[in-house]
Amino acid sequence: MSSGWSLWVMFLVVLNLGITFALFLWAPRAKIPTRPDGTTGHVWAHGTILEGLKNLPTWWIVFSGSMFAAAFIYLFLFPGFGNHKGALGWTSHGQLAREVAANKATLDPLLERFRLYTVEQLAGDPQAQQMGKVLFEDNCAACHQRSGKGNILVGAPNLTDDDWLYGGTGKDITTSIHDGRSGVMPPWASLGADNVKNLTQYVLSLSGAPHDAAKAAAAKPLFSTCAACHGAEGKGNPALGAPNLTDHVWLYGGTPAEIEQTISNGRQGHMPPWSPRLSEDQIHVIAAYVYHFSHQADEGPQ
């Protein structure tokens, strides 16, 4: 803090404490005119309520005085009066460093143990789940929800089922969290509105959903364009993040209108990389927690 700012802070402290302390000393001795009946003359409710006058109770005066004493002691012990560092030498940076060090001393032995296990093995460890839950809620729940159920509005997949766009092994999940994922579904509106509607019916047919058989049959030749990513049978491709169209899991919704919108406008799902924000150990624990969502019966490390 510069000398100018220090003097300004000192001035504000002295001004505020000085005024309030002066009022505190003056108030008990102030002379307020009263009527013979002991009231001030202020009335309400057409004179049925009269304002009386009583001295401040002793406990209030003692308590208020002790608060001023506490304020002066605080400004002496801690930084708060300009550039005064405080008799205790306390700083917020020092406090943070001590708390970080204490937290590190607690977590390091746990993380060291967690490194001995694969994601699949760690998924059943209660302490890893507890830590993973906190990390997941702090970093991932905004899109995937605290429950891990996902959000079709932002294209965040459901993590509690066994359907994985980029693979569901511990290594796959770790890579997704560490490096992020960028899905690119190009828009196909150029095919024409009728062809898009027909493709919608064909996609519905792949999963056995109710559909228009004639329109689906008409679109089957067109699906060869989609097969480059989704496969000839619509089974998807984890290497590209192309979803399986033959199950009943829909990243952006599975109604005819939602599928038609996906085909016509395309989708640009993005999972940001978390390696700049999270350490390797934290990513390892989150991956185990995510793996645990859809493998509730898995055993932890032995």
**Model confidence, pTM:** 0.71
Q: What is the pLDDT of residue 228?
A: 93
Measured distance CA(87)–CA(78) in Å, rounded: 7
* pLDDT tens profile 189-201: 999 999 999 999 9
Which tokens go with 292? 């645990």
Residue 301: pLDDT over 70: no
Binding-site sequence positions: 140, 143-144, 185, 226, 229-230, 271
Q: What is the pLDDT of residue 151?
A: 93
Closest CA to 293 of 136, 74, 109: 136
The region of weakest confidence among 37-51, 167-181, 202-216, 243-257 is 37-51
Binding-site sequence positions for heme c: 140, 143-144, 185, 226, 229-230, 271
* pLDDT tens profile 123-165: 999 999 999 999 999 999 999 999 999 999 889 999 999 899 9
Q: What is the pLDDT of residue 298?
A: 54
Torsion over CA: 156, 161, 163, 168 (sign)? positive
Measured distance CA(252)–CA(262) in Å, rounded: 8
Measured distance CA(150)–CA(158) in Å, rounded: 4
Q: What is the mean pLDDT of residues 266-281?
A: 93
Residue 1 pLDDT class (50, 70, 90 cuts): confident
* Domain range list for the chain: 122-295
Q: What is the pLDDT of residue 56?
A: 84
Residue 300 pLDDT class (50, 70, 90 cuts): very low
* pLDDT tens profile 225-260: 999 999 999 999 999 999 999 998 999 999 999 999
How many CB atoms sit inside 10 A of residue 197's CB?
Answer: 18
By the 10 Å C-beta count (0-12 exposed, 13-18 middle, 19+ buried), 137 is classed as: middle
* pLDDT tens profile 86-97: 999 999 999 999
The mean pLDDT of the chain is 92
Residue 215 pLDDT class (50, 70, 90 cuts): very high
* pLDDT tens profile 22-52: 999 998 888 888 888 888 888 888 888 999 8
Q: What is the pLDDT of residue 302?
A: 42
CATH number for region 122-295 = 1.10.760.10
Cβ–Cβ under 8 Å, residues 250 and 237: no
